[in-house]
Structure 1
Amino acid sequence: MNIVCSIDNNYVQHCGVMLLSFFENNKGSNHCVYLLTEGLAEENKKCIQDLVESYNGSFFYYLVDHKALTLFPIRVQDHLTIATYYRLLMADILPVHLDKVIYLDCDIVINDSVQELWNTSLDGYALAAVEELGCSLPDVYERLGYDEKYGYFNAGVLLVNLAYWREFSLTKRFFEYVAGNSIKLKSHDQDVLNALLHDKCLHIPYKWNVEEAFYHYSVIKRLKFNPELSFVLRHPSVLHYTWKPKPWESSCNHPFRINYFVYLQKLGKSTFTFKERLMASIDKYIFCFLLRIKMRGHQYYKL
């Protein structure tokens, strides 16, 4: 499989956790990791490269020219950096022989094999992604100017048809869209992708991108304890800590934050106390039990 991720020096640890969880659950193949960055400190680059190669993976490092992204808006209050836009450049940066990649954000833990996702056919589609289940900003369809029947997908996990992106010069279209619509962008590159590719996106099962928002009781209640979603929340194949606080922050109440702790410990960088790990394990057990018995009432859930 071809895995693409983009980071700066602030997210090296989290990228390490994500990649470790990927390799631990996808053994037996020679995977390739393509890292997009404006530049990492040498010790950080070596940390990622050593991890990939320790699993017999191939590591490729690509520098992105930040000057090419001067028109791309990042606000002071945003919880991300310009690195979020790097995925829009994949078709131009990555080798031309790559026709398909899985793009992964770094605030992710992979709990299962993603071979099924990799094998998904993209014939006629620009990408495959998970719909946000109505958890997107309420003005999104009016703001981006398309019919809500297409839904709004999250860009943290993408199966990308690079051949399609190149055939239809999508990188150029992304730049043109940002140049003319930057004031509309609230969710950055994710808005760009939805605005231009909402009708060229194959919606895939929730399990491939189980967002933090899906764990909120308000969402679970609104979807009437949907059996498929209920199972996926208890058994997430790809767990995405979408919003703040993140599991590495002390104020995080995500019921599956323990999954991040487990892989961080395997990475040899855990700073979490025994008490923190114990409480996180208990929270996960309680959440799964409440969801399984369809316990109703916001007071029983932490999100």
Structure 2
Amino acid sequence: MNNIITIVCASSDSYAPYCGVMLTSLFSNNLTHQIECFILSGDMGNDNRQRLSLLAEQFGQKITVLDINKELFKKLPIGERFTNISYEAYFRLLMPSLLSDRDRALYLDCDMIIKTDLAELWNTNLEGYALAAVQDTLRMRKKCISRLGFGTNDGYFNSGMGLYNLQFLRQFEFEKKVWDFVDKQYHLILYHDQDIINCVCKGLIHEVSPKWNMLESFLEKTPPIVPWQREELEEWRKKPCIIHYASLRKPWFKECLHPYKDEFWHYAAISPWNELKPVFKYHGFKRFTKYYLKRLFI
């Protein structure tokens, strides 16, 4: 296996600072590894490109921005469910052809913090699988299984972290299957790229520990998890390997009460975007306090 860890993420120009903070955490906790990072973007500006170059130089790693034509995805839905979803969310669907000489790639959402060495995850056995991912919450699973026509034993996986078997996906004709699904089943797409990946790769996704994608919901006092995650979750939610701020209440918003929001600011302070400051987004602090009190984090 190639000793270089290949990372892929997707970011608009406006989201680049948060992508940069995520990469800062990744590089900081993987100093002994050689990492190449590909950022898929439809509008990355010069200022953020320069800062990304500074970040790569700071840690002696490689960052490449791949420019993607958004028009390829104009017929796909955005913003119907989440206002923070952009066309960049779909760019990961092009990875098998974009990285045609790579056997695997680790996709990471920008709203994450990497807290540990990724060698264990990177070396996951993917034989016979399209990708490895973490099962989404029980709430999400119940919503999606009937809508997508899945059986009760079929999993529904969060697409924020995915270790992709690119060699398998090319043989599987993944991208062709994606567009066939979009043409024939567009009406089923509610959760964007996540729905598409789960449907096209049903039965071909290897489940890994929630420590590799610690969703906000996993940190609730009574987390909405599938039964087989309980033991794993109890062990790892107080020391997650990857923190995923997977809600509208991001740590860069003052309304955020996420128990690990300070982790974001720790890495922001040592990144090329160290001027970042928390801002009010929703101007409804009481509303979000009530939301959090209902769930009560660890």
TM-score band, normalised by shorter chain: 0.7 to 0.9
Correspondent of 2:73 among 58, 69, 78: 69
1:151-197: CA deviation from partner (whole Å, max 9, x where unpaired) = 11100000000001111110111111112222211110000011111
Show the counterpart of 2:93. 88
Q: Deviations over 1:269-298 (max 9, x none)?
A: 34259xxxxxxxxxxxxxxxxxxxxxxxx7
- Distance in 1, matches of 2:57 and 2:10, equals 18
Instruction: State the partner residue of 2:238.
Output: 234
Confirm or deny: 8 A CA contact 1:131 1:153 kept in the other structure.
yes
The SS at the match of 2:14 is helix
Say if 1:215 and 1:233, in contact at 8 Å, map to a contact too: yes
Q: Does 1:301 align with 2:293?
A: no
Residues 133-282 of structure 1 correspond to what in structure 2 (within 5 A)?
Answer: 133-136=137-140, 138-219=142-223, 226-267=230-271, 268-271=274-277
> 263-272 or 78-87, which moves further after superposition?
263-272
Distance 1:89 1:160, change over 3 A: same
Distance 2:128 2:226 in 1: 33
2:73 maps to a residue whose letter is L
Aligned residues: 278
- Per-residue deviation, 1:133: 3.7
How far apart are the structure 2 equivalents of 1:191 and 1:300? 26
Counterpart amino acid of 1:89?
A: L
Contact kept, 8 Å, 1:245 with 1:252, in 2: the verdict is yes
Cα distance in 2 between the residues matched to 1:221 and 1:155 = 16
| 2:27 paired residue number | 23
Asked if 2 retains the 8 angstrom alpha-carbon contact of 1:87 and 1:103, the reply is: yes
Q: Please report how far the alpha carbon of residue 225 of structure 1 lies from its aligned counterpart in structure 2 after TM superposition.
A: 10
Q: Identity percentage over the alignment?
A: 29
Give the direction of change, closer, same or farther, for the CA distance of 1:101–1:21 in structure 2 (3 Å limit). Answer: same
**CA displacement at 1:69 relative to structure 2:** 0.9
* Structure 2 portions without partners, runs of 5+: 280-292
Q: 2:112 matched to 1:117?
A: no
User: 1:145–1:195: 8 Å Cα contact kept in structure 2?
Assistant: no
Give the corresponding residue for 2:41.
Answer: 37
Question: 2:39, 2:66 within 8 Å by CA — same for their partners in 1?
Answer: yes
RMSD: 2.2
Query: What amino acid does structure 2 have at the position aligned with 1:87?
Result: R
User: Is the 2:137–2:226 contact (alpha carbons within 8 Å) kept by the matching residues of 1?
Assistant: no
- 1:198, distance to aligned residue in structure 2 (A): 2.3
Which residue number in structure 1 is paired with residue 288 of structure 2?
none
Gaps of 5+ in 1: 274-297
The structure with the largest helix share of the pair is 1
Distance, in Å, in 2 between the alignment partners of 1:32 and 1:117 is 16
CA distance in 2, matches of 1:126, 1:221: 23
8 Å CA contact 1:110, 1:237 repeated in 2: yes
Distance 1:132 1:54 in 2: 35
Q: Is the 8 A contact 2:24 2:267 kept in 1?
A: yes
Secondary structure, aligned partner of 2:113: strand
